[in-house]
Amino acid sequence: MLKVIDAQTRVNSKTKEEYNIVVLQGNIEIQKSQSSGKFYLGSKTISIPTTLTQNEAKQLIGSGIPGEIEKVDCPEYLVPVPNSTRKLKITHTFRYSPSIADEVKK
């Protein structure tokens, strides 16, 4: 189950058209730091476009959406590290996936 935590309006960089998105947060996960070996809590978030108005999308904040966030491979891209001149090579992204149990019901 995913939780709606935000609703935003964004602008398409090519067409300059505005569109609405909702931000979904996954379950809390315990993760281990690769550098220190210490454990910490985290959760994945994704944004998905919506045809809802901004007001309708904001009303969804706090509600649950069936599904999960899954990691998928993608073409390599670089992400700048904040407060640094370094860039990280990324070869994956995250996307929404309906729950398997929900797909079986269909």
CB atoms near residue 46 (< 10 Å): 17
How does pLDDT run across 9-31, given as a tens digit for each residue? 999 999 999 999 999 999 999 99
pLDDT band at 102 (very low <50, low <70, confident <90, very high): low
Summary mean pLDDT of the chain: 91
**What is the model's pLDDT at position 99?**
76
- Tokens 């899954």 identify what position? 70
Q: State how far the Cα of 104 lies from the Cα of 106, in Å rounded to an integer.
A: 6
